[in-house]
């Protein structure tokens, strides 16, 4: 967990899967830290009148779990995020258990960059998040 890995240790198609239940505490801590007090996240009456019918967990919080899994379980802590793209393809409710699949899709030796992708599905199998992002790794130190 959170091991430094070098660019040369990584391989295309390496993959990790991890499940997590999204809790009220997760949402409360995220909302307090970011100030993301959107009513669909915090106001049950407001959220009940939306097409979702109840409060949603913050999407960027869920997306952040992908990057946490990426660094803690797959690529380590050396790479620096260059670009992140997330697609919120379904609702995430408090109490949902999500399974995150995160993998290395491409590796570019000339720029020492990896492209990683991710998908998250709820316990019913509905995909709720897709991601595609890049990490750049430092140059090798001269020997």
pLDDT (0 to 100) of residue 141 = 66
> What's the pLDDT band for 118 if we cut at 50, 70, 90?
very high
CA distance 130 to 59: 11
pLDDT (0 to 100) of residue 143 = 58
pLDDT averaged over every residue in the chain: 94
> What's the pLDDT band for 49 if we cut at 50, 70, 90?
very high
pLDDT (0 to 100) of residue 62 = 97
């Amino acid at each position: 967990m959170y091991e430094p890995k070098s660019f040369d240790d990584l391989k295309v198609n390496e993959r990790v899967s991890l499940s997590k239940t999204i809790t009220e505490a997760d949402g409360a801590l995220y909302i307090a830290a970011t100030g993301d007090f959107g009513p669909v996240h915090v106001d049950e009456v407001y959220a009940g009148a939306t097409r979702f019918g109840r409060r949603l967990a913050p999407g960027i919080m869920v997306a952040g779990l992908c990057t946490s899994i990426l660094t803690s379980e797959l690529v380590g802590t050396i790479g620096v995020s260059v670009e992140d793209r997330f697609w919120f393809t379904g609702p995430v409710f408090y109490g949902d258990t999500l399974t995150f699949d995160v993998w290395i899709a491409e590796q570019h030796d000339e720029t020492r960059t990896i492209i990683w992708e991710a998908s998250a599905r709820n316990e019913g199998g509905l995909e709720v998040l897709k991601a595609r992002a890049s990490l750049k790794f430092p140059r090798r130190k001269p020997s």
